Structure 1
Amino acid sequence: MHLHTLFVIVLHVLHFSFCANVKVNFREKEKEILDQILGPGRYDARIRPAGVNGTDGPAIVRINLFVRSIATISDIKMEYSVQLTFREQWLDERLKFNDFGGRLKYLTLTEGNRVWMPDLFFSNEKEGHFHNIILPNVYIRIFPYGSVLYSIRISLTLSCPMNLKLYPLDRQICSLRMASYGWTTDDLVFLWKEGDPVQVVKNLHLPRFTLEKFLTDYCNSKTNTGEYSCLKVDLLFKREFSYYLIQIYIPCCMLVIVSWVSFWLDQGAVPARVSLGVTTLLTMATQTSGINASLPPVSYTKAIDVWTGVCLTFVFGALLEFALVNYASRSDMHRENMKKQRRQCELEHAQSMDATSDLLDTDSNATFAMKPLVRHPADPMSLEKARQCEIHMQPRPNCCRTWLSKFPTRSKRIDVISRITFPLVFALFNVIYWSTYLFREDGEDS
């Protein structure tokens, strides 16, 4: 019994030793396999792989991406920066090797020039670089049945033409385009990997945008030299409106409301009303120039231009309103002086008429002839007829005219009307503005 147990233990030890030796020998065979399939005269990296089933058709390269981060989206430069892991996979039957019963899953290379590589480039790229810390972030895996997987981490700055008509209530579509530079579709075709060709990191955070969705598509291009295979990813970004509400819209509303304070100041407070109007106008102009400095000079009108333009018009209108009030105030003073002079003249004329009437009464010869024909100016019948004519000529009273009659001067009436008109018109503008730009259908241009 003890001999049998000892014999079993010896067999296990020999088995493990044999497996360990086989494993070590197996790893040492990787160099032999690489020399066998990539040695001189055995593999030419200048020749593209064969097509499907070894035919002369185009080589099929399948693409998939992993978006690691999106750093910035610049409105003024119309570009965005992205860091991604880019992967290509294709079949090259010249690279088949013995996997020793599944023990050798794949071979790993770090030199891309030893095997054939697709000549893919990013057509809308402005800048780009590889990552070499601590070592180059790239690898090539060769599988036993000849499949090749190429993976690399890169950072790109890509152009993104934007339509800013609805800014800052807009959505932007930024594309990532990949195409073949030299091989036409007769030799090389790019396809998206089946399943999930594009992945995005879960905790992706952008300061002023939200990534709503992304779509994959094909964008083959035809030129004078042939047709080239092309893939693209459309990233749909929605601009975060809360930032602009706090930084632009609310301050502009406050400046417009502050400009209305001059309507409640006394019309004689000229320095206060002028300084208030000029200060709000300059502040609004500074706000507008600051907004335009962060945007490209486009030829069309943006939603923010409509807002700042109307707000600037209201502030400027409040300043012009004071100029009109000042002019009306001087006219009221001139009219009041003219009334006083007219009353003085009428009083002097009445006194002269009274003196003349006294002289006529003392003249006995003219009394009996003139009294039946001439009536005294203060005659009750004449006054009654004049009063009836004035009542007949006066317009019918209404509520607005009755309310305005409480303010005797035109300058005061202008201020009172402005207190009501300016807020009502501004509120109407807000209703039209927000209903036009905010409650719109997706993809609708202003």
Structure 2
Amino acid sequence: MVAVKWGYSVALLLLALPHLSWANQGKVNFREKEKQVLDQILGPGRYDARIRPSGVNGTDGPAIVRVNIFVRSISKIDDVTMEYSVQLTFREQWLDERLKFNDFGGKIKYLTLTDAQRVWMPDLFFSNEKEGHFHNIIMPNVYIRIFPYGSVLYSIRISLTLSCPMNLKLYPLDRQVCSLRMASYGWTTDDLVFLWKDGDPVQVVKNLHLPRFTLEKFLTDYCNSKTNTGEYSCLKVDLLFKREFSYYLIQIYIPCCMLVIVSWVSFWLDQNAIPARVSLGVTTLLTMATQTSGINASLPPVSYTKAIDVWTGVCLTFVFGALLEFALVNYASRSDMHRETMKKQRRQCEMEHAASLEAAADLLEDGATTFAMKPLVRHPGDALTLEKVRQCEIHMQPKRENCCRTWLSKFPTRSKRIDVISRITFPLVFALFNLVYWSTYLFREDAERE
């Protein structure tokens, strides 16, 4: 019985073998076909990578290469060296009719290569590049796709450090335009022309984050250049960065304001507290100078004046002015001592003047009886007395009074008046400076934006 079942199974297998062999013959391995196609179009003697593709419609015109880029990240924007670092996916696409192949009814969508030397490549370079490198982890981040109608797509991931000349006149209220320039090195526009891809030639990752800048927008343009050897095709993309002001407001502007206000505390201290006022003025002056040096250390030495230079310079002037104000108060206090002496002399003069008036009144009362007894020649002492009376009358002439003089008269000494005037003048002038400063530079920032 077992032998009968085994024989029946063998018979079924023998009957199925012709059908299996026919199915295997009908199934095509298109991976093997890709190898055959690559050998057919790129085999020895069939394709020369040294010769550029023909122009549009097979003419002898220039080869057209369309470019698009995808910005993956922007790691830093350096103000000192005036450069920025960017990582991007760079793509080029052109038509090479020598690479046409049979796609077997759409079964082969494209052929993929990783060796760029096997096909002709545009000699594009980044004209404002300082440093750059490819990415080779885990495998080289590059591929070439060849489509059935001869179109070639080249894609590679690269990191670049590019120069970015900056205008820092409005720093830190400025906007900077950093460019990415791509040009042909050896082929002139008679042989090679670069064009931006239609639609969306530049793409930026959505979660792009920069520590002190914001990418506002980007613009694509052409920058063909002419030299002694001909005209070369060039593409550029301008990245517009706006500097984040909140960092500088917290780190620079508010601390400088605080230092200036602390220097005004000296106006409220007693004029005889010389050690306290001197140490306060010198400390704030040195701190402000250190702050200014730290700011300039993070910026390039440019020949023009920046907005931050105006701010730190004026704040340093206010702190220095507060120190000089104490020197003036100290001098005025010594002058007040001299004035006290003069006041005593004036009081004595007033007393003598009053005594002289009383003596003159007595003479008028006794005038009738003593007229005959007066000598014909005036005594020399009388002339001196009259001259002293005139001088005292000059000192006693009333002065015109106004509200300011009345208010200042509440403070007995000149040194105290200087302190009181400084308490009002310094804050008012600093507030006026802030009004002019912010209105000027914010208006210029808006004008440059337009």
Q: Give the TM-score normalised by structure 2.
A: 0.86
Matched, 1:327 2:331: yes
Work out the CA distance in 2 between the residues paired with 1:274 and 1:387: 42
Aligned to 1:129: 133
- Structure 1 residues 350, 212: closer, same or farther in 2, change over 3 A? closer
Instruction: Indicate which of 150, 155, 161 corresponds to 1:157.
Output: 161
Task: String of CA shifts for 1:118-164, please: whole Å, max 9, x gaps.
Answer: 00000000000000000000000000000000000000000000000
Letter in 2 for 1:119: D
Work out the CA distance in 2 between the residues paired with 1:222 and 1:368: 120
- Structure 1 residues 122, 428: closer, same or farther in 2, change over 3 A? same
Letter in 2 for 1:138: V
Task: String of CA shifts for 1:158-205, please: whole Å, max 9, x gaps.
Answer: 000000000000000000000000000000000000000000000000
Number of aligned residue pairs: give it: 416
Work out the CA distance in 2 between the residues paired with 1:321 and 1:335: 20
Work out the CA distance in 1 between the residues paired with 2:320 and 2:199: 60
* Distance apart, 1:338 and its partner CA: 4.1
Instruction: Indicate which of 21, 27, 41 corresponds to 1:21.
Output: 27
With 412-421 and 343-352 compared, the bigger mean Cα shift is at: 343-352
Alignment of 1:280-319 (within 5 A): 280-319=284-323
2:180 counterpart SS class: strand
Work out the CA distance in 1 between the residues paired with 2:427 and 2:198: 59
Letter in 2 for 1:60: I
Matched, 1:431 2:446: no
Matched, 1:47 2:48: no
Alignment of 1:130-145 (within 5 A): 130-145=134-149
Aligned to 1:269: 273
Work out the CA distance in 2 between the residues paired with 1:19 and 1:213: 58
- Structure 1 residues 239, 17: closer, same or farther in 2, change over 3 A? farther
Aligned to 1:357: none
Work out the CA distance in 2 between the residues paired with 1:371 and 1:72: 105
Work out the CA distance in 1 between the residues paired with 2:25 and 2:315: 83
Work out the CA distance in 1 between the residues paired with 2:376 and 2:315: 72
Work out the CA distance in 1 between the residues paired with 2:88 and 2:440: 38
Instruction: Indicate which of 111, 116, 132 corresponds to 2:115.
Output: 111
Unaligned runs of 5+ in 2: 1-15, 359-369
Aligned to 1:236: 240
Letter in 2 for 1:225: T
Task: String of CA shifts for 1:275-330, please: whole Å, max 9, x gaps.
Answer: 00000000000000000000000000000000000000000000000000000000
Aligned to 2:173: 169
- Structure 1 residues 52, 15: closer, same or farther in 2, change over 3 A? farther
* Distance apart, 1:397 and its partner CA: 1.1
Matched, 1:224 2:228: yes
Aligned to 1:5: none
Aligned to 2:422: 418
RMSD: 3.2
Q: Give the TM-score normalised by structure 1.
A: 0.87
Matched, 1:62 2:32: no
Letter in 2 for 1:137: N
Instruction: Indicate which of 98, 104, 109 corresponds to 1:100.
Output: 104
1:145 counterpart SS class: coil
Aligned to 1:83: 87
Matched, 1:245 2:249: yes
Percent identical residues: 85
- Structure 1 residues 188, 317: closer, same or farther in 2, change over 3 A? same
* Distance apart, 1:396 and its partner CA: 2.1
Matched, 1:180 2:184: yes
Work out the CA distance in 2 between the residues paired with 1:265 and 1:129: 63
Letter in 2 for 1:21: K
Matched, 1:211 2:235: no
- Structure 1 residues 350, 437: closer, same or farther in 2, change over 3 A? closer
2:443 counterpart SS class: coil
Work out the CA distance in 2 between the residues paired with 1:71 and 1:20: 55
Letter in 1 for 2:205: V
Unaligned runs of 5+ in 1: 1-9, 355-365
Work out the CA distance in 1 between the residues paired with 2:274 and 2:202: 66
1:204 counterpart SS class: coil
- Structure 1 residues 349, 166: closer, same or farther in 2, change over 3 A? closer
Work out the CA distance in 2 between the residues paired with 1:342 and 1:214: 80
Work out the CA distance in 1 between the residues paired with 2:200 and 2:233: 20
Letter in 2 for 1:421: T
1:179 counterpart SS class: strand
Q: Is the 8 A contact 2:145 2:153 kept in 1?
A: yes
Q: Is the 8 A contact 2:189 2:232 kept in 1?
A: yes
Letter in 1 for 2:209: H
**Runs of 4+ residues over 4 Å off in structure 1:** 13-20, 341-352, 371-375, 385-392
* Distance apart, 1:439 and its partner CA: 3.2
* Distance apart, 1:250 and its partner CA: 0.3
Matched, 1:146 2:150: yes
Aligned to 2:194: 190
Aligned to 2:405: 401
Work out the CA distance in 2 between the residues paired with 1:17 and 1:338: 130
Task: String of CA shifts for 1:211-255, please: whole Å, max 9, x gaps.
Answer: 000000000000000000000000000000000000000000000
